[in-house]
Amino acid sequence: MKYMLIACITVCAFLSGCATNATQRNAMESFGLATERVGRMSESEFLSMRSEVIEMNSLLVLLDTSKNTDNWAYDESALAETTAMRVAACKSLRMYGDLLIRLAADDRTEMVRRSARVFLDNITETLGPELTRAQEEAVQNVTRGLDAPWTARRKSETIKGIVLAFADSVTSLTNRLQADFSLGESSLSYLQAYADTAMKLEIISAAIIDSQDTYSLLERSKAVKAFVLAQESRVRVHAIGARIHEAMATLQKANAHVASAVQDDSYDLQEIREYGKQIQKISTMQLVLSR
C-alpha cells in the first residue's frame, strides 16, 4: 500500500509537470512566433519605406523643376544609418522570438546557439554593449544546455531566465519601434517622414494631372506614375505602419504578461493567441501591398 501511494504521488507529480511544460511550450511557441513575425515584418517595412522614399524623392526631382543637386538628397528622411539602427532593433525582436520558439520546441541543434548569439549581437547594437549579469547567465544557460541533459526542469528554468533577463530590453525595443511607427503632425517618426514624402509627391503630381493640356504626354505619364506611387504609399502608412504601431503596444502587454506568468505558470493562452492573430492580419496586408 505504501509503495502504491508513493507511485501514485510520483505519477501525479510527473503528470503535473507535463501539464505545466505543455502550457509553457504552447505559450512560448505562440508568443515567440508572433514576436518573430512582428520583428520580421517591421524590418521589412523599414527597408520598403526607405526604398520607396528614394523612389519618391527621385520622382519629385523629375516633376519639380525647383529641385537641383544643391537642395535635394535622394534618401532624405530615410538615411541609411538611421534605417540600419531601426532594422537592428527589429532583428533583435525577430531573433528573440526565434530563440523562444527553439527553446520551447526542444531544439538541441547549433541553431539555438546561433539564435542566442545573433539576438545578443543585435540587442547590444541597439541598446548598448553592456549586458547585465542576469542576461549573461541566461544566455550562457542556453549554450550550456546543448552539452547537458535537457530535462524538463532545465528547459523551464532556461526559458524563465531568458524571459526575465530580457523583459525590460524587449520593452525598450518596442517603445522605440512604436515611436517610429507613430503618426501625427508634430511627430518626427520614420513613418511620418515617409507619409510626408508621399503627400508632397501626391500634391505635385496631382497638379500636373489636373492641368489638362498644359503638359506633354510624357510629363503626364511621369506624373501618373508618381501619383499612383504616392497613393499606394499613403495607403500603406495606415494599412501597415499604423497597425504595426498598435501591434507594438500589444507586444508590450504580452511581454509583461509572459514575464509575470513565467514565474508561476499562470499563462493566459487566449491573450497570447490574440496577440498572434493581430500580427497575422498585418502579415496578410503586407502581402497584399507588396510591390
| Domain annotation covers residue 19 | no
Q: Which three cell numbers stand for residue 123?
A: 540587442
Evaluate whether residue 7 is within a structural domain. no
Please indicate, yes or no, if residue 232 is contained in any of the structural domains.
yes
Q: Is residue 214 part of a domain?
A: yes
Is residue 78 situated within a structural domain?
yes
C-alpha span between 120 and 115 (Å, rounded): 9
Q: Which residues span the domain enclosing 202?
A: 27-288
Asked whether residue 216 is domain-assigned, the answer is: yes
Q: What is the pLDDT along the chain (291 residues), one digit of tens a residue?
A: 444 444 443 434 333 344 347 888 888 999 999 999 999 999 999 999 999 999 999 999 999 888 777 777 888 889 999 999 999 999 999 999 999 999 888 777 788 888 888 998 999 999 988 888 999 899 888 887 677 777 888 888 899 999 999 999 999 999 999 999 999 877 889 999 999 999 999 999 999 999 877 888 888 999 999 999 999 999 999 888 888 988 899 999 999 999 999 988 888 888 888 888 888 888 888 778 775
What is the DSSP secondary-structure string of 2-15?
HHHHHHHHHHHHHH
Please indicate, yes or no, if residue 2 is contained in any of the structural domains: no
Q: Is residue 14 part of a domain?
A: no
Count of structural domains within the chain: 1
Among left, alpha and beta (phi > 0; psi -120 to 50; other), residue 223 is: alpha
Cα separation, 184 vs 7, in Å, equals 64
Question: pTM score, two decimals?
Answer: 0.85
The CA distance from 61 to 69, in Å, is 9
Centre a 10 Å sphere on the Cβ of residue 85 and count the other Cβ atoms it contains. Answer: 15
